[in-house]
Amino acid sequence: MASGFFAILDDVATLMDDVASMTKIAGKKTAGLLGDDLAVNAEKASGFMSERELPVLWAITKGSLLNKVIILPVAFLLSAFVPTAIIIILLIGGLYLAYEGAEKIYEYLVPHAHKKAAPTVKKLPKEEILTVEKEKIKSAIVTDFILSVEIVIIALGTVTQQSLSIQIGVVTIIALIATVGVYGVVALIVRMDDLGIRLINRNEDDNSFSAKIGKFLVAALPKVIKSLTVIGTIALLLVSGGIFAHNLDFIHHLGESIHIPALLFEFLVGLIVGAVVLLVVMLGKKLWKLMKK
């Protein structure tokens, strides 16, 4: 009886060890997308009144958890019964990621007119704040759903050859990291300026150490969000290029034949595919406008 109990413990320990090992691999594959997720959510969670930032972020976090509850069972069912669907969804997600990365680069390099920005929540009358908050929360949760699908599928794609128990363990851990880890960091980021203001107001001496730290934090917040956007864009292209390089044999063989670093090759693949998809989308929009006239 005791030997059976210890055998079960040994099996559990082996399973946990396998899950931990595969989680490291899946974590590396999804790290870039998590960086983009962090940049997007930091931007969406900012712009609220100071006392409303954390409640709004908590509402988005709960929505993100619900997204994972919906996505995970569907992903595991597909992996168990229609495994080829995982590869197809991966490639479709790769096209979307490449397009998103290329579009960000295009908007940065090519000046074009933008719609006038809507007023931030801080400048609205109090009676409109809750309405705008609900709209921004809904938008953030929808965006989170799209990113969550990509993160879960990419994580699942790294363990498709493993047993279902390992798949469930690895992907669930990645999904939790994508929610708890990302939104925890976002909470710290969006509160940087408030902490800075408190340090500045701590005493009347503008040259005090606390005031200097406070001014640094206030000035650093927009730069942090902007830098995250840049890092996220590079990550989008790397992740998308990696998807194509690892799941399409002709691209994989091309990478081996030209003898350049894998990261550079994956970035170039993501950039080229993204540029092609962006061109197709832009042409499609122009044709649609012509057809409507």
pLDDT of residue 8: 45
What is the per-residue pLDDT across 3-45, written as a single tens digit (0 to 9) for each? 554 344 444 445 455 556 556 555 566 665 666 666 666 666 6
| Residue 195, amino acid | L
DSSP states of 45-94 as a string? Answer: T-SS-HHHHHHHHHHHHHHHHHHHHHHHHHHHHHHHH-HHHHHHHHHHHH
CA-wise closest residue to 264 among 249, 289, 280, 245: 245
pLDDT of residue 222: 79
DSSP states of 247-285 as a string? Answer: H-HHHHHHHHHHT--HHHHHHHHHHHHHHHHHHHHHHHH
pLDDT of residue 14: 52
pLDDT of residue 237: 87
Q: Distance of CA 160 to CAs 12, 85, 230, 247, Å?
A: 20, 11, 31, 12
b vs e for 100-138, b when ≥16 Cβ sit within 10 Å of the residue's Cβ? bbbbbbeeeeeeeeeeeeeeebeeeeeeeeeebbeebbe
Residue 37, token pair as written in the block: 């997720």
Q: Which residues of the chain have pLDDT under 50?
A: 1-2, 5-13, 15, 116-119
Q: Whole-angstrom Cα distance, residue 46 to residue 228?
A: 14
DSSP label of 116: P
Which residues are within 8 A (CB) of 186 and not within 5 positions of it... i.e. 6 or more apart? 38, 41, 42, 45, 57
Q: Rg for the chain (alpha carbons), in Å?
A: 22
pLDDT of residue 186: 79
pLDDT of residue 291: 85
